[in-house]
Each structure stands twice: as structure tokens, then as C-alpha cells.
Structure 1
Amino acid sequence: MIAAIPFPDISSEVFSIDIGGFSFALRWYALAYIVGILIAWRLVVAALRRPNLWPNDTPIMEPARVEDFLTWAILGVVLGGRLGYVLFYASDYYLSHPLEILAVWQGGMSFHGGFLGVVAAAWLFATRNGISRLSMGDVVAMSVPAGLFLGRIANFINAELWGHPTDVPWAFIFPGTDAQYCLGPIGVLADGSCARHPSQLYEAGLEGLLLGALLLFLVFKREWLKTPGQTMGLFFAGYGAARFIVEFFRQADAQYITPENPMGYALTLGEWGLSRGQLLSLPMIIVGVAIILWARRAREAKHA
């Protein structure tokens, strides 16, 4: 008989306060953003305080300047994440409801969009302050996985972005009517509920813990920052590969699922297909590998 893990009873709100008839709540996803940004800040400051990690043993900026960049980064994450979701995942809906684009409190953020927003913010900040753009990209790349890990844990707590039905023993029974519908016999339990992959936890492990640990090891123990662009390239390729793999287990967004396309493929290839997340991740892998190769060749040419 198929077994599954009941979903833990965790509120979507860390806490809420009622003041004058208004309720103010701190949600897990918002907390993930806040803590992720704080961790990223401390990681970058720690790297800047070690001159031996940087080209010519010279950090790209003073540690105090990181606080200035935080404002740019937060704007990049929020604006890029929202616009990315609108453009990549729900353009038809928002073309018909343009005023709802600003309603970020209703949910709907895209990692790929948020990342592009941070890249743009880092590029502009570096250009304006005379900082190496490649090294600035490395700084952002080494600090992002902590936030990714926390964000995916928040997705799990919120019981969103769950995976395909499955019979694996670590499957979860996610709450909600939509999560209880299994396409076919796989994952159907004796009581009719549906057991699913905890794809949020897969992403937290690959994008957050594994990629983050690898980047920090290479930065602090192998001095990868001495080759500008190399760390950024690895993040691009590593995140793209991790997301591409997890998409095989993750349920497609509802707007892509139809009776003719039950798997929600954004691109169909015969009986197989690729999800929207996979299509967006492939360029990251290609660009990441290209940046690593270019950065290494530039280093070799410099020392030839």
C-alpha cells in the first residue's frame, strides 16, 4: 500500500498584529527575503575583508559600500521578479488586467526575472561607482543561494509549487483541492488523496545548499574571485542545471495545463516536452559555461 507524509500544520504567517482594525502579518516568504538579504550582506562583507581573495589582493570596494548596494539589489529583486512573472508566466492575463501588475501582495514572482533584475542593478551600480562589473557579478552570485534555500523552504511551508504525483516513500499530501487531483493512478492513496514530490525541498537542496556550499568553498578556499566572472558563470550554469533537473518533478503552473497538454509543457517534442522553467534555464546553462571559459582564457592571456 502506498504511504505518504501528512503535510505539517504550519501557518503561512510567522505572526500577525492587529492595530486599529488593521491586521499586519509577517509571512514566511517575506521573512525568507529579509533573512536571505541579511545573509548575503554578511557573506559579501566577509569576502571584502579578505584582500587575498581578490585580483591583485585588492577588494573591489569597501565593506561599508555593500549597504549602498542593498537598496539597488532589493529593487532589482522585487521589480525584476514581478515583471518576470508577468512576462514569462502570465502575460495574457496581465494584458487584460494591467492594474494588477502592481498588486505584488497577491503573489506571483519569478526567480529568473528577479535574478535578471539583480544583474541589472549590479551592472548599473558597478558602472556608476567604477567597480569591475564581472567582479560585482561574482559578489552577487556567491551570496544568492542562501536566499534561494530560504525561499524554497517558504514555498514548501506555503504548500505551493508542489511536484508531480508519485509513489516514493517521502511523498507529501499537500493541502488544497488542486493538490488532491492525481493525473492517472500514480500517487493515489487509499483515501483518494494524492501524494506528490516535495519539489520545493529538492530545489532548496540543489539550488540552495549544494550550489551555495560549492560556491563558498571555491570563493574562500580556492580563491575563485581572483578570476573575475568565473564565480558568476558557475552560478548561472549551476542554477540552470539544478532548476532544469527539478522541473522533471515539479508540477507545471496551472495556466499551462490543459486537457490536450496535461503535463503543462511550454514546448512539446513528440511525447516529451520542456516546461517554461526548463526553457528559461537552458540559456543560463549555456551562458554560464561560456562565461567560465571566457574568464579562464582571459586570466591565461593576462599571465602569458
Structure 2
Amino acid sequence: MLPVLMFPQFNPVLVHVGPFAIRWYALSYIIGIVLGITLLRRLVNLPPRAGTPELADDFLAWVTLGILMGGRLGYVLFYQPGYYITHPLAMLEVWHGGMSFHGGALGVIIAMMLFTWRYKLNFLAFADRVTIAVPIGLGLGRVANFINGELWGREAPASLPWAMIFPDGGPIPRHPSQIYEALTEGLLLFLVMFAASRKLSIRQHPGFLAGLFLAGYACARSFCEFFREPDSFLGFLPGGITMGQLLCCPMLAAGIALMVYANQHPVYEGIPPEAEAKP
């Protein structure tokens, strides 16, 4: 039997600057958003154009608010509503963790709807470009979860070469499910999205790439949930599924519907002339 790996004792704080602490988790959000916007600047210019690099820069503030507000509110509503009703000020304590991808996704969708309405852009065409960049942030976020030693996996066979004992996970070897998610929801999904985006015939049908992302994430997350330990305050839902898998069901349905919808609609010609210059 191979020896079980011990979790490296990472410090969740990267550096202290006076009374402030810069954490790996926060840094993953910052780097993910910056890299995503940098890629978006190039993607919106691909024919048929869905925006301009300048508009992509402006979207930075919108998407940041969407991720943070949606992610936090989603966690509060989907995972621990009872606790936050009795401890409302704890909703502001984001440094203790507690972000929901599904809530963040809703926040970004609302941000995109308002942004594309404000600048008279095609919502689905713009969403296609945004979703190509999203897996970058997802992958970095899961790496940060691993560094924090949180969201670890279920019990794994001790013979598994990468089975690991986490500080707060008891003495049993576990799956490093954060790494599984980083590789599937992050790296693999990005490669699939990027490869699909290279085809002009796909970009000409707004909504297909966004649908591919929703369906791809739902499948990747649902698969990884089989290896991830459910949150202690939730446990398993009826039927042995997890909250993550339950929330992925409407995502999968919406993704398939979007791809069908995109294929049944005319070719997209690109942004109108009035959208070339910002108001």
C-alpha cells in the first residue's frame, strides 16, 4: 500500500500589508477577473463582432459586482439561509469564505443583461464571449480552495496514489476534490470552450457557446460532486444527491435549450454601427 499524502500546510494569507491581509482566495478572484477581461478584449473583436475592447474594459466593474454580490447572496440563500437570518451582519464577512458559483453565475447574467442593454449589444453574442473566459476564474478559485484546505473530498481508498489527509477532514484519506474541479471545471472546460469558439459557424449563432458552457459546467460539477464531501450543515439531499448537483440540473436544461435555440435562429451579423462608440 502506498503511503497516504499529508496536506501541505499552506498559509491561506499570502502577505500582510499593515493591518490588512491579502489572501490566496481573494487573489484568485482578482487574477481570474483580470485575465478574463484581457481575453474578452480579444474575443469581442472576433467576427462577427460582439463589442469593442473598450467596452470589454468597462465591463470589468459590472462583472466584479455581479460575481461578488451574486456569489455571496447565492451562498446565503442556497446554503445557509437560516443562519444568516439570525446573524444578518455575518453576510458581510466574506473574508470567512462562503461564495456560491450558481449565485455568482446569476449575478454575472444580470450584469450582462444590464450592460448589453446600456450599450445596445446583442446579449447572447456578448454572453458567448464572456463564458469562454469564465473557466479561468473557476480553475483558479478551486486551486485557492485547495490552498485553504477547504471543500475537501469524500473518503478515498488508501491505495489511491493521491489520497490525502486534510487538517480538518479527520484522520481518513480523502479525494483532493478541489484539484478534480480545477482540472474539469477549469482547465478542461476552458479548452472545450476555446476550441469551439475558434469556429466561425458557431460564433455566428449567438447563445450556442453560452449554452455549451452551462451544460459543460453542469456535467463537470455534477461529476466532481461524487468525490466531494457535502457541506456539513447540509449533508446529502433525498436520493443521495448533493446541493451542487441539484443546482446543476436547471443549468444543464438551460444549456441544452440555448444550444437548440441558437441553431434554429439566423446568422448573427455583428454589432450595429451605433454600438461602435460608447455613449
Partner of 1:33: 29
List gaps (5 residues or longer) in structure 1.
Answer: 181-192, 257-263
Residue identity in the other structure for 2:205: T
Q: Provide the secondary structure at the position in 2 that maps to 1:11.
A: coil
Partner of 2:273: none
Residue pairs, 1:204-223, within 5 angstroms: 204-221=182-199
**How does the TM-score come out when normalised to structure 2?**
0.92
1:296 aligns with 2:263: yes
CA distance in 2, matches of 1:108, 1:89: 9
Q: Provide the secondary structure at the position in 1 that maps to 2:258.
A: helix
Partner of 1:233: 211
1:79 aligns with 2:40: no
Partner of 2:127: 137
CA distance in 2, matches of 1:98, 1:9: 32
CA distance in 1, matches of 2:31, 2:108: 17
Residue identity in the other structure for 1:277: G
- Contact 1:123–1:136 under 8 Å retained in 2: no
Q: 2:236 aligns with which of 238, 249, 265?
A: 265
Q: Provide the secondary structure at the position in 2 that maps to 1:231.
A: helix
- Contact 2:41–2:57 under 8 Å retained in 1: no
Partner of 1:171: 163
Query: What percentage of residue pairs aligned between the two structures are identical?
Result: 45
What is the deviation of 1:14? 1.4
CA distance in 1, matches of 2:44, 2:243: 37
Residue identity in the other structure for 2:223: I
Deviation above 3 Å: which 4+ runs of structure 1? none
Partner of 1:282: 249
Partner of 1:224: 202
CA distance in 1, matches of 2:189, 2:260: 19
User: In terms of mean alpha carbon deviation, does 75-84 or 7-16 score higher?
Assistant: 7-16
- Contact 1:44–1:139 under 8 Å retained in 2: yes
Provide Cα deviations, 1:104-123, integer angstroms capped at 9, x if missing partner: 22221101001110011001
What is the deviation of 1:2? 5.7
Q: Provide the secondary structure at the position in 1 that maps to 2:226.
A: coil
1:48 aligns with 2:44: yes
Q: Provide the secondary structure at the position in 2 that maps to 1:175.
A: coil
Partner of 2:4: 4
- Contact 1:47–1:220 under 8 Å retained in 2: no
Partner of 1:259: none
What is the deviation of 1:236? 0.3
Q: Provide the secondary structure at the position in 2 that maps to 1:16.
A: strand
1:198 aligns with 2:198: no
Provide Cα deviations, 1:261-291, integer angstroms capped at 9, x if missing partner: xxx212x12xxx1100000001111110111
**How does the TM-score come out when normalised to structure 1?**
0.84
CA RMSD of aligned residues (A): 1.7
Q: 1:242 aligns with which of 199, 220, 234?
A: 220
CA distance in 1, matches of 2:176, 2:230: 14
Provide Cα deviations, 1:189-230, integer angstroms capped at 9, x if missing partner: xxxx21100000110011000010110111124552221000
- Contact 2:44–2:51 under 8 Å retained in 1: yes
Residue identity in the other structure for 1:120: I
Residue identity in the other structure for 2:182: A
CA distance in 2, matches of 1:219, 1:42: 16
Partner of 1:153: 143
Provide Cα deviations, 1:230-262, integer angstroms capped at 9, x if missing partner: 000000000001111111110000102xxxxxx
What is the deviation of 1:48? 2.6
List gaps (5 residues or longer) in structure 2.
Answer: 270-279
Partner of 2:13: 13
What is the deviation of 1:175? 1.1
CA distance in 2, matches of 1:195, 1:223: 47
What is the deviation of 1:60? 2.2
Name which one, 1 or 2, has greater alpha-carbon Rg: 1
Partner of 1:112: 102
CA distance in 1, matches of 2:44, 2:261: 24
CA distance in 1, matches of 2:172, 2:259: 43
